[in-house]
Amino acid sequence: MFKPLLRHSGTAALCATLLALSCAASAADLKSGLKIAFVPKQINNPYEVIADDGGMAAIKEFNGVGKVVGPSDAGASSQVQYINTLITQRQDAIVIAANDANAVVPYLKKAMGQGIKVVTFDSDTAPEGRQLFVNQANAEGIGRGQVQLVAKLMGGEGEFAVLSATPNATNQNTWIKWMQEELKKPEYSKIKLVKIAYGNDDDQKSFVETQGLLQAYPNLKAIVAPTTVGIAAAARYISTSSSKGKVAVTGLGTPNQMRAFVKNGTVTAFQLWDPNQLGYLAAYAAAALSSGKISGKEGESFDAGKLGKRTIGKQGEIILGPPTTFDASNIDNFNF
């Protein structure tokens, strides 16, 4: 059973060596000792932890100095004090997943005014608040893809609800907008979005909101939670309720947090990208910016370690890649 692995072990070793050399070459072009700070939406959010770990791994590759600082809640202005502290500390770059598109902009503009590079990732600010935005995937594709998936799970008809993060979350709001656009297509004429609820990316509140949705809409056939906190909370509630097997739970989650719910039949399928790679890409973008390799203009490209060369799109956007759909057939192939 293990012979094929042994047969290709030389090839695997060669690939690993080439990857290491590629990462080293990318790092060699960057300034050494860059101070780069990550500011997540919430310091204890499991998704954010995975993304930040990816960023710290990249910073280690190019011999920078990384740190993660941020709030314990996802309030609109909760990140402001951390940005101000990082300005005082004269960081070379701030990499932030914004809780609000506008609340942090004046403070990020202040940082840029003092020569600090600003990169948003996962959740963007208004464009004037940063130089680059590292996006998980095409926002339109994520939103439309969520509707396509839930429609399949619902059998093409019925009521569903969205359990989002905070009312001001830039990424969730953009995805929901595209979900609503997709729902206008004639093939979804028998599907109705009855409610958009907000769990504020808090596990307990999301759990309670799930209960409220099921009570308020007895004919509900699905809940779409485009947030890793929300989807796990919704699945946990439904897994021990009479709605298990009757109400589909889908959205955006990590394989490790959703594995048990897929295996016990609560969740059939959900989607996500690799948040570790998202943080990794954001760190390399910040380093390239801080090293003067790029300025943030459309069409510029830079080396992003193991992720290879990346090109800047419109309005300073860099896209990681398309999301993956996880289900019982493939979930054990992933570990994040």
Q: Where are the domains of the chain?
A: 15-136+275-320, 139-272
Residue 172 scores a pLDDT above 90: yes
Residue 2: pLDDT over 50: no
Class of residue 277 by CB neighbours under 10 A (exposed 0-12, middle 13-18, buried 19+): buried
Can you list the positions of beta strands (E) in 268-315?
Answer: 269-272, 301-303, 309-311
CATH of segment(s) 15-136+275-320: 3.40.50.2300
The dihedral region occupied by 156, where left means phi > 0, alpha psi between -120 and 50, and beta the remainder, is: left
Residue 226: CA atoms inside 13 Å, Cβ hemisphere, count?
32
- The C-alpha angle with vertex 137 and arms to 17 and 109, in degrees rounded to 5, equals 100
Rounded (5°) CA angle 305-255-9: 55
- The alpha carbon of residue 31 and the mean position of all alpha carbons in its chain are separated, in whole angstroms, by 27
DSSP code of 159?
E
Residue with tokens 């808090």: 202
Residue appearing with tokens 């739970």: 249
The whole-chain average pLDDT of the chain stands at 93
Query: Does the pLDDT at position 26 exceed 70?
Result: no
Strand 269-272 and strand 324-327: the pairing is antiparallel
What is the spatial distance between Cα 74 and Cα 205, in angstroms, rounded to a whole number? Answer: 13
Q: Tell me the CATH number of domain 139-272, given options 2.20.130.10, 3.20.20.10, 3.40.640.10, 3.40.50.2300.
A: 3.40.50.2300
| Ramachandran bin of 321, using left for φ above 0, alpha for ψ from -120 to 50, beta for the remaining angles | left
Give the pLDDT confidence score for residue 1 in this predicted structure: 30
| Average pLDDT, integer, range 66-83 | 96
Pairwise CA distance, residues 175 & 186, whole Å: 20
Give dist(CA 162, CA 82) in Å, integer. 31
> Which of these, 15, 4, 68, lies nearest to 42 by C-alpha position?
68
Which pLDDT does position 251 carry in this prediction? Answer: 99
Residue in the structure block whose two tokens are 């990082």: 86
What is the pLDDT at residue 195? 99
Predicted local confidence at residue 28, as pLDDT? 61
Structure confidence by residue, pLDDT tens digits, 288-334:
999 999 999 999 999 999 999 999 999 999 999 989 999 999 999 99
Residue of 73, 88, 84 lying closest to 41 (CA atoms): 73
Do the domains spanning 15-136+275-320 and 139-272 agree at the CATH topology level?
yes
- 137 token code pair: 């995937």
- pLDDT tops 80 at residue 14: no
* pLDDT the model gives residue 23: 54
Backbone angles phi, psi at 297, to 5 degrees: -80, 150
